């Protein structure tokens, strides 16, 4: 039974304290950057916030598809039996590392953000050219750029996407994670960043981190939860 997509969604959902801290300022700035008449209309305001975030999730899915190609090559190189097992353990380990990072016990994990710095230097001016955002397509495009912002949590999830075995599985895995982050990031935009101070509560961070660590440990005890079902071994 493959529960990797629900697990990816759950990690995104419980990463709210990180997402609010990382993206709260961006979401607040984007919210205030919209015309006042639009911000006063709750329905239109929500549509724009969803457009921003749909672009962000699409970028996560695109990155997941690219890394999923690597997963296919890894499984081929390691072999279907042992390789399958190693990839499952690797995915579980990544989840534990994410939990440690969210809890504040592994701050150095953020150093993986350096991997995306060159790409972000190239994309960031493109995002500036899309401002001010005045239409839904502009909001989606800006969100697609924003999705490549260096983020230790996102990049760590991307590393775990190497356990997927193809671009479709990789895209779905990262899309599920992105959808999990949606409630917290959209709520931050709607509330103009007022959730930020709650997300900085150290006890809340530890509690959420422990939940993610527990999810990772469960996948170690029950490796079938992250079964690589997309791989079909050809009969001899």
Q: How much is the pLDDT for 196?
A: 64
Cα–Cα distances (Å) from 76 to 66, 71, 130, in that order, read 16, 9, 42
pLDDT digits (tens, 9 = 90+) for 79-122: 666 666 777 788 788 889 888 988 889 888 778 878 788 888 99
φ, ψ dihedrals at 133, nearest 5°? -80, 125
Judged by DSSP in three states, 226 sits in: strand
Contact of 105 with 213, CB cutoff 8 Å: no
Cα–Cα distances (Å) from 122 to 26, 34, 39, 118, 147, in that order, read 18, 25, 30, 7, 14
Question: In terms of C-beta density within 10 A (0-12 exposed, 13-18 middle, 19 or more buried), how is residue 73 classed?
Answer: exposed
Range with the lowest mean pLDDT among 58-67, 83-92, 166-175? 83-92
Closest C-alpha among 14, 45, 4 to residue 192: 45
Mean pLDDT of 43-58: 94
Q: How much is the pLDDT for 235?
A: 43
How many C-beta atoms surround the C-beta of residue 143 within 10 A? 25
Closest C-alpha among 165, 169, 171 to residue 84: 165
The pTM (predicted TM-score) of the whole model is: 0.83
Overall size of the chain counted in residues: 236
Q: Locate tokens 């990797």: which residue?
A: 4
Return d(Cα 113, Cα 138) in angstroms, integer: 26
- Letter string b/e over residues 175-187, b meaning 16 or more CB atoms within 10 A of that residue's CB: bbbbbbbbebbbb
Domain regions of the chain by residue span:
4-221
Contacts for 64 with CB less than 8 Å, ≥ 6 apart: 158, 161, 164, 170, 171, 172, 173, 174, 175
Q: How much is the pLDDT for 32?
A: 79
Residue 79 vs residue 18, higher pLDDT? 18
56 pLDDT band, cuts 50/70/90, is very high
């Amino acid at each position: 039974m493959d529960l990797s997509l629900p697990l990816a969604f759950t990690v995104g959902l419980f990463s709210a304290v990180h997402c609010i801290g990382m993206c709260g300022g961006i979401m607040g700035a984007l919210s205030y950057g919209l015309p006042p008449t639009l911000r006063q209309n709750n329905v239109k305001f929500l549509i724009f916030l969803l457009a921003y975030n749909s672009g962000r999730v699409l970028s996560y899915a695109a990155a997941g598809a690219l890394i999923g190609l690597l997963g296919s090559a890894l499984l081929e190189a390691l072999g279907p039996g042992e390789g399958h097992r190693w990839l499952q353990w690797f995915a579980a380990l990544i989840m534990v590392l994410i939990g440690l990072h969210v809890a504040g016990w592994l701050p150095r994990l953020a150093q993986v953000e350096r991997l995306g710095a060159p790409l972000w230097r190239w994309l960031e001016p493109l995002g500036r050219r899309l401002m001010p955002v005045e239409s839904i397509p502009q909001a989606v495009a800006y969100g697609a750029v924003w999705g490549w912002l260096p983020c230790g949590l996102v990049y760590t999830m991307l590393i775990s996407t190497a356990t997927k075995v193809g671009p479709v599985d990789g895209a779905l895995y990262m899309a599920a994670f992105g959808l999990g982050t949606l409630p917290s990031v959209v709520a931050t935009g709607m509330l103009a960043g007022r959730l930020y101070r709650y997300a900085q509560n150290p006890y809340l961070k530890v509690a959420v981190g422990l939940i993610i660590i527990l999810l990772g440990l469960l996948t170690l005890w029950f490796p079938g939860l992250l079964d690589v079902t997309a791989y079909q071994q050809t009969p001899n």
